Structure 1
Amino acid sequence: MITAIVLIQTVADRLTEAAQEVADIDGVAEVYSCAGDVDLIAILRVTNHEDIADIVPGRINKVAGVLDTDTHIAFRSYSSQDTEATFSLGLE
């Protein structure tokens, strides 16, 4: 599984609609609205790098209100949640 983080700039009056449209795209696992330098952060989880090439320029950048994207591909996860799942035996 390949994870990509897409930072998205939108026009202010389309932020909510753009977020929902991006969230509805196959391969987009989560979308967060946030404060700071970007308006939305989308988490993509796909099986091939080509999927990212289809999703970001082919779908996300065409959503009305999206001004710009900046894509980062994750190499490894250091999440404590992933670590706990790895060592869990499923016993209560």
Structure 2
Amino acid sequence: MKSSLSLYRHVLRYLRSSSFPFKYLYPKIRHNVREMFEIHRERDEEKTKMLLKWGWQDLAFLKSWKIVEKEIRDDIFRGFSTSKKGKIHDNK
């Protein structure tokens, strides 16, 4: 099984890639990824394997959004946009 560092690098690489459909969510998701790796730092090998398996599944799920039409994605995430300074805010 690949290491947690490998998963972390794959996730960050995907978030920066042109195929990532939620550019306005990049800072938030990047922060969440970092936090999840810190929170779930484990010494138990079995638990680590389980968390890595879930992490790779989550990355696959995130990648699956690229096939969803842009209009549908925009409807799902309506209210979120990027301000001129690049910060995410809610338009409600």
TM-score, length of structure 2 as denominator length: 0.32
In terms of fraction of residues, the more strand-rich structure is: 1
Q: Return the structure number with greater helix share.
A: 2
* TM-score computed with the length of structure 1 as normaliser: 0.32
Ranked by relative contact order (alpha carbons within 8 Å, sequence separation 6 or more), the top structure is 1
